[in-house]
């Protein structure tokens, strides 16, 4: 259960600069996603992650290390992460820019969602 809550916390309220704020809605392409996350950390209470443009995920959540990889596949952010020593497993997620919030919804948009701020 904790892994599921962590996943929700790590994948999706985001203060974006003006240009990104104007482009609300589903993030359709890898290029659009990279433009949003480049040189920024994804944060939320207890969580700080770096999603690099070269497909790596690093950071901390609730004091434990987070590592992983990601790719863009068929319009979804697909990641495979490890929290502490526990694999969370792969999941492809719908990403939405919600005018100040970047929302990640698990299971290709059919599961739970979480919002993360970009810093």
Cβ atoms of 80 and 90 within 8 Å: the answer is: yes
| Residue that wins the pLDDT comparison between 118 and 63 | 63
HEC assignment per residue over the chain = CHHHHHHHHHCCCCCCCHHHHHCCEECCCHHHHHHHHCCCEEEECCEEEEECCCCEEEEEECCEEEEEEEEEECCEEEEEEEECCEEEEEEEEEEEECCCCEEEEHHHHCCCEEEEEEC
Q: Domain count for the chain, please give it.
A: 1
Note the pLDDT of residue 23: 72
State which residues form the domain around 42: 2-118
Note the pLDDT of residue 100: 64
The backbone torsions φ and ψ at residue 32, rounded to the nearest 5 degrees and listed phi first, read -65, -40
Chain segment 10-34, per-residue pLDDT in tens:
543 333 333 344 478 999 999 999 9
The backbone torsions φ and ψ at residue 34, rounded to the nearest 5 degrees and listed phi first, read -60, -40
């Amino acid at each position: 259960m904790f892994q599921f809550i962590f996943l929700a916390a790590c994948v999706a309220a985001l203060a974006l600069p003006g240009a990104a704020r104007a482009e609300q809605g589903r993030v359709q392409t890898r290029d659009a996603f990279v433009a949003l996350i480049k040189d920024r950390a994804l944060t939320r209470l207890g969580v700080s992650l770096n999603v690099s443009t070269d497909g790596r995920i690093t950071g901390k959540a609730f004091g434990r290390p987070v590592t992983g990889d990601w790719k863009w596949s068929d319009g979804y952010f697909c990641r495979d992460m490890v929290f502490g020593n526990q694999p969370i497993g792969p999941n492809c997620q719908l990403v939405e820019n919600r005018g100040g919030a970047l929302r990640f919804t698990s299971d290709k948009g059919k599961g739970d969602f979480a919002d993360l701020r970009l810093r």
